[in-house]
Amino acid sequence: MMRDSALGLVPETLEHYVALGQALWSAGPLGPAELEVARLRNARRVNCVFCKNVRYDIALQDGLTEARIASIDDGYQDSDLSERDKLIIAWVDQFYTSPGEVPDALAARLKAQFSDAELAHLALAVLYFSGFSRCAVALGGMPEELPLMKISVPE
């Protein structure tokens, strides 16, 4: 699918993009469901219609449900999401709003819940999701609505 998009116009970079995506989803300490929480929050922040309506099959297999996905929205702090999910969402929000000004309380919660390796994995994943989703938005031509689509990590 990625190769059929505008990204295919630059094959020299596309292959690296695909390889990075595969590595992020298949390796590292965070599981697919938690990565999907980060990806879907990023999709909402960027308002990428395509990204918002995609569900990665490995995340669903890892236990992600539509009920959990529905909570990845404004007001998530008061939802039934786990502390880890809430912190993943907070990381994404901080990435976009004020990355250089993290409240001490948030930093302490992140350090208490995640190992260094998990935070590094989250940081790289959000960087990747952000770049990919903003590619889609910046290129334009996004429909206003799309049905939910279950897909696999691009190979």
Partner 1 sequence: MLELCRLRLVQLHGVPASATELGIAVAPAQLDNLADWHRHSAFDARDRACLAFTEVYAADAQAITDALADAVKAHSGDAGLVALIEALGLLDGMLRTERLWSAINASGGDGNVDATAR
Interface residue with partner 1, options 27, 67, 78, 112 (CB under 8 A): 112
Distance CA(64)–CA(60), nearest Å, equals 5
- Name the nearest CA neighbour of 51 among 154, 132, 138: 132
Residue 138, interface with partner 1 (CB under 8 A)?
Answer: yes
**What distances in angstroms separate CA 112 from CA 30, 55, 58, 106, one per listed residue?**
15, 29, 27, 10
Residue 123, interface with partner 1 (CB under 8 A)?
Answer: yes
Residue 86: how many CB atoms within 10 A of its CB? 19
Minimum Å gap between C-beta 8 and partner 1 is 9
Residue 24, interface with partner 1 (CB under 8 A)?
Answer: no
Residue 120, interface with partner 1 (CB under 8 A)?
Answer: yes
Nearer to partner 1, 58 or 120 (CB): 120
Distance CA(40)–CA(35), nearest Å, equals 9
Residue 116, interface with partner 1 (CB under 8 A)?
Answer: yes
Residue 101, interface with partner 1 (CB under 8 A)?
Answer: yes
Interface residue with partner 1, options 19, 107, 148, 149 (CB under 8 A): 107
Residue 47, interface with partner 1 (CB under 8 A)?
Answer: yes
* E-only strand ranges, the chain: 54-56, 149-151
Angle formed at CA 60 by CA 57 and CA 65, multiple of 5 degrees? 145
- Applying CB under 8 A, the span of 55-63, 66-74, 77-85, 136-144 interacting with partner 1 comes to 136-144
